[in-house]
Amino acid sequence: MRILQKIALVLTIIGALNWGMVGLFQIDLVASLFNGSDEIISRIIYTIIAIAGIINIGLLLEPMDNENEKMHR
């Protein structure tokens, strides 16, 4: 599960950078690369990044202090 979360985190960061570019420069890199946001490939990429964000919700539920977790094992 750790590998899946790391992949999801990378995809979430990429999505955040894309949204940052939209906010700052009005450039949607995904839409630019795949001929518009209505194209099926663009929608698939948006969906994959959304799923990655949902997977990363699990990071909120993990203990912040891993040292305490190690001591209790």
By CB atoms closer than 10 A (0-12, 13-18, 19+), residue 28 is: middle
pTM of the model: 0.78
Q: What is the pLDDT of residue 28?
A: 96
Distance CA 38, CA 25 (A): 20
Answer whether residue 73 shows pLDDT above 80: no
Answer whether residue 69 shows pLDDT above 60: no
Q: What is the pLDDT of residue 72?
A: 57
Amino acid, single-letter form, for residue 68? N
Distance CA 73, CA 58 (A): 21
Phi-psi sector, 13: left (phi>0), alpha (psi -120 to 50), beta: alpha
**Residue range 2-53, pLDDT digits in tens:** 899 999 999 999 999 999 999 999 999 999 999 999 999 999 999 999 999 9
Instruction: Give the number of other Cβ atoms within 10 Å of residue 53's Cβ.
Output: 15
